[in-house]
Amino acid sequence: MRKIILAGVLATVAFSANAQNAASPVGKWKTLDDKTGKAMTVTEVYQAKNGTLAAKITENLGLPATCADCSGEHKGKPMVGMVTLWNLKPNKDGGWSGDGYKPSEDRKFTAKSVKLIDGGKKLEVKGCVAFICRTATWVRAD
Q: What's the average model confidence in pLDDT over 91-118?
A: 94
Do 21 and 15 contact (CB within 8 A), yes or no?
no
Between 93 and 114, name the one with better pLDDT. Answer: 114
pTM assigned to the model = 0.81
Worst-scoring range by mean pLDDT, 7-16, 21-30, 66-75, 97-106?
Answer: 7-16
CA dist., res. 130 & res. 1, Å (int) = 63
**What pLDDT is attached to residue 33?**
80
Task: Reduce the DSSP state of residue 135 to 3 states and report it.
Answer: strand
Which domains, and CATH codes, for the chain? 25-140 (2.40.128)
* 31 close to 46: Cβ distance less than 8 angstroms: no
Asked if 61 and 40 count as a contact pair (C-beta separation under 8 A), the reply is yes
User: For the residues 55-63, what does the mean pLDDT come to?
Assistant: 95
**Distance of alpha carbon 11 from the chain centroid:** 28
Q: Which of 85, 76, 108 is nearest to 31 (CA)?
A: 85
The DSSP element (H or E) to which 11 belongs, if any, is helix 2-22
Q: List C-alpha distances in Å: 124 to 19, 48, 72, 103.
A: 19, 20, 27, 18
Cα 16 to Cα 128: distance, rounded to the nearest angstrom: 35
Rounded to whole angstroms, the Cα distance separating 66 from 9 reads 47
User: Average pLDDT of 130-136?
Assistant: 93
